[in-house]
Amino acid sequence: MASRANHLVLLGCGLLCVAAFLYAQMTGRSTAQAQVYQGPTSQAAIPSPAAASNFPIASDARLAGDVKQTRFILDLDKAVQFRTFALADPYRVVVDLPQVSFQLPTGVGVAGRGLVKAFRYGLIMPGGSRIVFDLTGPARIAKSYVLEAANGQPPRLVLEFEEVDRTAFVQSLAPESRPELRPAIAEANAAVARVDAPAAPPSPPDKRPVIVIDPGHGGVDNGTQAGGGDIMEKNLVLGFGLALRDRIEKSGKYRVVMTRTDDTFIPLGDRVKVARSESAALFVSIHADALKRGEGDAQGATIYTLSDKASDSEAERLADAENKSDAIGGVNLTDEPTEVADILIDLVQRETKTFSNRFARMLMGEMKNTVRMHKHPLKSAGFRVLKAPDVPSVLVELGYVSNKGDLEHLVSENWRNRTVGSMAQAIDAFLAKRLATAGPGK
Ligand SMILES: [Zn+2]
C-alpha cells in the first residue's frame, strides 16, 4: 500500500508538471488536437500535429484470460508512470497516464473478454490520458506494472484483473484510490489562465454578451460513432462548434467561450459551471445522435430543452445516453453535490425555461429553411448539461450518424457552413430581442 501511495503522489505531480510544461512551451491550442478527426472539412486553424510526437505512443492493446483472471496489455514505445483506481455502480477501473498518443487499431476495446466488458481511452486533460475499463462484475487489480523493452518486445503496461465479491470491491475504494480529477483540472485550467493572461496593460472589461458553445463529449468519451469507429461524435461536434464560434465572432457583437477547443474530456457539471461563471446570455450544446441497429432509422436535426419529464421515449433514451458521459469518462458521480431545491432558484429557473424555449423555437425557425430537421424537431428531457438555473440553454442534435444521409451532411463542409450560418442568425435574432427588452448589462 505504501508503494502505491508513493506512486500516486509521484504521478499526481508528474501529470501537473507535464500539463504546466505543455502550456509553458506552447501558445494557443494544445497538441491534443493532433488526435482530432478533421475529416474532409479540415480547418486551416488547426496547428500541425508534429509536436505530438514527443508523447509516448501506444500502438496496440489486448486482453487475455477468463472471468476469474483477465490480463490487459498495452504496447508502448517508452515506459510510463500510471495510477489506477476503481469506481462502483457501474463497476469500472480507471488508469490515469501522462498524455499518450493512442495509435491503436480501430475498434479495439469495443469487445471485451473475461472480467472486462469493454474499454475506452483518450485525453482526459492537457497532459493526461485515461483508460476506462467497464467490468462485467466486481474485480480488483491484483497486479499492475510496466515491463521495460526486452527480447524484442516493446515496453508494456500490464494490468491483472482478479474477480472479487462486492464487499471486497467496495473496500478497495480506499480514499487514496479516489479520483482526484477535479483539483487536477482546476490546476490545468489555472495554468492555461496564467499563460493566456495578457502580460501588459489590462484592457477594459469586455461587456459584450457571452455565448457558451459546448461541443459534447471529448477525450475518453467518444460519443456516438460511425464507420466502425472512424467517425466519432466528439470530433464532428468539435469541428462544428469551432466553426460556429468563428461565424458568431465575425459580427464582433458577442464574446464566445468554448467549453473545450480540443480533444479533452470535460465533466458535465464543469460545462454548466462555465456557463454560470461567465454569466452567459446563452448556452448551446452540440451533439450528434445515433440509433442502434434495429431501432429504426430516424433522421434530421433536433433541438432539446430541459424538462423534468421527457417529451417522449426517444428524448428520454437520448438524455440517459448523454447523461452517461461522466460515467464513461470515469468521473466519480458520488462526488456530485445534490440538487439545490430552493424557491429562488425555482423562480429564476422558470424564467430561464421560458427563454430557452423561445430560443429553441427561433432556432428551429431558422434551421428548417436550410437543414433537414427531425419529424418532431422540438423536444425536452432531463439533460444534466442544460441545468444552469440562470442561463438559457439548448442542446442541438445535428443529426444521426447512424443515418447515411445525415452522416454525409455531418462530414460535409458545405452543409456545416449552411447550418452554422442559420444557427448564428437565430442566436443573433434571439439576443438582439432579449437585450432590447432587458436593457444594457443583460
Ligand atoms: Zn452526444
Say how many Å lie between the CA of residue 438 and the centre of ligand 1: 33
Rounded distance between C-alpha atoms, residue 159 and residue 138, angstroms = 15
Say how many Å lie between the CA of residue 71 and the centre of ligand 1: 31
How does residue 312 score in pLDDT terms, banded at 50, 70 and 90? very high
The answer to whether residue 4 scores a pLDDT higher than 60 is no
pLDDT cut 90: percent of the chain above it: 55
Say how many Å lie between the CA of residue 301 and the centre of ligand 1: 13
72 φ, ψ (degrees, to nearest 5) = -115, 135
The answer to whether residue 193 scores a pLDDT higher than 70 is no
Work out the widest C-alpha separation in the chain, in whole angstroms. 73
List the single range of 49-53, 66-70, 146-150, 315-319 with lowest mean pLDDT.
Answer: 49-53
The predicted pLDDT at position 438 comes to 67
What average pLDDT is seen over the chain?
A: 80
Say how many Å lie between the CA of residue 379 and the centre of ligand 1: 15
Say how many Å lie between the CA of residue 216 and the centre of ligand 1: 5
The answer to whether residue 283 scores a pLDDT higher than 70 is yes
Rounded distance between C-alpha atoms, residue 10 and residue 14, angstroms = 6
Say how many Å lie between the CA of residue 226 and the centre of ligand 1: 13
Say how many Å lie between the CA of residue 58 and the centre of ligand 1: 26
CB 55 within 8 A of CB 77: no
Say how many Å lie between the CA of residue 290 and the centre of ligand 1: 9
Q: Is 173 exposed, middle or buried (0-12, 13-18, 19+ CB in 10 A)?
A: middle
Rounded distance between C-alpha atoms, residue 252 and residue 26, angstroms = 27
How does residue 156 score in pLDDT terms, banded at 50, 70 and 90? very high
Say how many Å lie between the CA of residue 151 and the centre of ligand 1: 44
Residue bearing cell 432539446: 304
Q: How does pLDDT run across 329-385, given as a tens digit for each residue?
A: 887 655 444 444 455 566 778 889 999 999 999 999 999 999 999 999 999 999 999
Say how many Å lie between the CA of residue 136 and the centre of ligand 1: 24
Say how many Å lie between the CA of residue 405 and the centre of ligand 1: 19
Is the Cα torsion angle 212, 215, 218, 221 positive or negative in sign? Answer: positive
Say how many Å lie between the CA of residue 96 and the centre of ligand 1: 23
Residue bearing cell 425536452: 380
The answer to whether residue 194 scores a pLDDT higher than 80 is no
Say how many Å lie between the CA of residue 3 and the centre of ligand 1: 39
pLDDT mean over 282-297: 90
Q: How does pLDDT run across 215-224, given as a tens digit for each residue?
A: 999 999 999 9
Most trustworthy range by pLDDT among 1-15, 73-87, 234-248: 234-248
pLDDT mean over 176-192: 42
How does residue 212 score in pLDDT terms, banded at 50, 70 and 90? very high
Say how many Å lie between the CA of residue 203 and the centre of ligand 1: 37
The predicted pLDDT at position 245 comes to 97
The predicted pLDDT at position 436 comes to 78
List the single range of 6-10, 162-166, 271-275, 396-400 with lowest mean pLDDT.
Answer: 6-10
Say how many Å lie between the CA of residue 215 and the centre of ligand 1: 9
Say how many Å lie between the CA of residue 346 and the centre of ligand 1: 27
pLDDT mean over 70-93: 90
Beta-bridged to residue 161, according to DSSP, are: 70, 141
Residue bearing cell 491484483: 142
Say how many Å lie between the CA of residue 145 and the centre of ligand 1: 35
Say how many Å lie between the CA of residue 421 and the centre of ligand 1: 21
pLDDT mean over 411-436: 93
pLDDT mean over 62-80: 94
Say how many Å lie between the CA of residue 174 and the centre of ligand 1: 32
Say how many Å lie between the CA of residue 146 and the centre of ligand 1: 34
Rounded distance between C-alpha atoms, residue 439 and residue 442, angstroms = 6
List the single range of 48-57, 147-156, 302-311 with lowest mean pLDDT.
Answer: 48-57
Q: What is the dihedral of CA 346, 351, 352, 354, to 10 degrees?
A: 130
The answer to whether residue 12 scores a pLDDT higher than 70 is no
